[in-house]
Amino acid sequence: MKFFIDTANLDQIKEAQDLGVLDGVTTNPSLMAKEGIKGKNNILKHYVDICNIVDGDVSAEVIATDFEGMVKEGEELSELHNQIVVKVPMIKEGVKAIKYFSDRGIRTNCTLVFSAGQALLAAKAGATYVSPFIGRLDDISTDGLELISDIRLIYDNYDFDTQILAASVRHTMHVIHCAKIGADVMTGPLSSIEGLLKHPLTDSGLKQFLEDYKKGN
């Protein structure tokens, strides 16, 4: 299972990278705005800065919602760095753009996916990744994890290569459930990764070991 971090915060990206378990980064326009990154040139530079910190894939989202605009932006983004994956929304023009990029070897992440039908369409168009937003489904009393299971079943039925990127992960249990279901990738905040470390028996056991060592030395 790949671990991506869902942020545009360079310090958090470095921290996750230093842990040695980071496989990539996802961003979106809201996450860029949260870090105060504004204006096209600053945004493009920020993507390159992120690529220079991590070894894996970095999703960079198009803003255009028409086919020509998405193609223009996506080609520009993909030329920035070989780690860039073009993030395209699940709309009609987006499906066409994913097919266009796929035919030309440009990798894509189909975002804002909330149903199995949308995920099927993304795979048919040749998306590299599909991003079902599980936290946002949970927010409206719909089971986000059930969607991950449904997509896993559909993709396995037909051997689709598209990787399931569980997005809008909010906490550690989302990560564990996604791993049990077989999501290829999860993207979440640093806290969802660091939460995996925690167990009170680890802390109390280590405390005891260190105390016993001190007694004998």
Q: How would you label 71-108 residue by residue, b for 16+ Cβ within 10 Å and e otherwise? A: bebbeebbeeeebbbbbbbbeebbbbbbbbbbeeebbb
* Distance from C-alpha of 55 to C-alpha of 25, rounded to nearest angstrom: 10
Q: Out of 3, 114, 129, 133, name the contact with ligand G3P by CB under 6 A.
A: 133
Q: Out of 28, 108, 109, 163, name the contact with ligand G3P by CB under 6 A.
A: 28
87 is catalytic: yes
Q: Out of 71, 113, 116, 167, name the contact with ligand G3P by CB under 6 A.
A: 167
137-140 LR contacts (CB < 8 Å, sep 24+) = 137/168, 138/170
Q: Out of 22, 25, 26, 130, name the contact with ligand G3P by CB under 6 A.
A: 26
Q: How many residues of this chain bind ligand G3P (CB under 6 A)?
A: 11
Contact 98, 109 (CB under 8 A): no
Rank residues 196 and 206 by Cβ distance to ligand G3P and give the closer one. 196
Active-site residue (options: 34, 87, 180, 198): 87
Q: Is 109 helix (H, G, I), strand (E, B) or coil?
A: strand
Is residue 73 a contact point for ligand G3P (CB under 6 A)?
Answer: no
Which stretches of the chain bind ligand G3P, using CB under 6 A?
A: 6, 26, 28, 131, 133, 135-136, 167-168, 170, 187
Q: Tell me the catalytic residues.
A: 87
